[in-house]
Chains A and B, each alone.
Chain A
Amino acid sequence: DAKTTQPTSMDCAEGRAANLPCNHSTISGNEYVYWYRQIHSQGPQYIIHGLKNNETNEMASLIITEDRKSSTLILPHATLRDTAVYYCIVRPTGTASKLTFGTGTRLQVTL
């Protein structure tokens, strides 16, 4: 499986952009990058995913480097409610397979 590496924690001031990096240097050509977040012990929540192009939705933007070895999740105007653990996941190769969550990045948004 392609492994991901994320910083353990980050801080961001409210109203500023939060940029969360993820390294996935062993990603294969047909593997998607997914981002989820988990707010306070709730179930993880899907944010966004992408293959090679940058993606944007109502929650966030995903920037994937041209070589696909890393990506950045951008929350354009972070609020206190965005405080959560953010997981970057690469969908593994093979069929009927298993999404593996690492320990993620704990984002703390402060006033």
Chain B
Amino acid sequence: NAGVTQTPKFQVLKTGQSMTLQCAQDMNHEYMSWYRQDPGMGLRLIHYSVGAGITDQGEVPNGYNVSRSTTEDFPLRLLSAAPSQTSVYFCASSYSIPGADSNSPLHFGNGTRLTVT
């Protein structure tokens, strides 16, 4: 098992450019989510998905889109990058839904470091 795989590891964008951060998991996990991490802010939830075809917003969804067409993949799209989106982005998955009657831990990828100039 590769676990949770994020690509690319590093990315530099100019303001206004668009891009997609990729996230894939091979553990057949239903739940997937995206976090961003900024210095002194901890991890903040952007979007999450409880299964293929279902997505919902987290704490900081503005400027980001997601879709979940398969169980394995959960890409995060930046439609028009802004310097405020400079951050480290983490994708995470778990077997079942956090908060439901289960206790599956989250598995994280190793992050994508994005700089917007």
* Chain A residues near B (Cβ < 8 Å): 30, 32, 34, 36, 41-46, 49, 51, 87, 91-104
A44 CA to B33 CA in the complex, in Å? 13
Q: B108 at interface (Cβ–Cβ under 8 A)?
A: yes
- Additional A-B contacts beyond A41-B111, A100-B45 (13; CB < 8 A): A36-B105, A41-B88, A43-B90, A44-B108, A46-B107, A87-B42, A92-B99, A96-B99, A99-B98, A99-B99, A100-B59, A101-B44, A104-B42
**B interface residues (Cβ-Cβ under 8 A, vs A):** 4, 33, 35, 40-45, 48, 50, 56, 58-59, 88, 90, 92, 97-101, 103, 105-111
B42's partner among A45, A97, A101 (CB-CB below 8 A) is: A101
Instruction: Work out how many contacts link A and B, with CB atoms closer than 8 A.
Output: 73
Q: Is the CB of B42 within 8 A of A98?
A: no
Q: Report the bound CA distance from A69 to B44 in whole Å.
A: 24
Contact assessment for A34 and B105 in the assembled complex, using a CB-CB cutoff below 8 Å: yes
Name the residue on A nearest B97 (C-beta): A96
Q: Which residue of A lies closest to B49 (CB)?
A: A96
- Complex Cα spacing A95 to B33, Å: 15
- When the two chains form the complex, which single residue of B41, B103, B108, B110 contacts A32, counting CB atoms closer than 8 Å? B103
- Whether B106 and A44, one on each chain, are in contact in the complex, defined by CB atoms closer than 8 angstroms, is yes
Which residues on A sit within 8 Å (CB–CB) of B43? Answer: 44, 87, 101
**Closest A residue, CB atoms, query B108:** A43
Closest 3 CB pairs of A and B: A97-B99, A43-B108, A46-B105
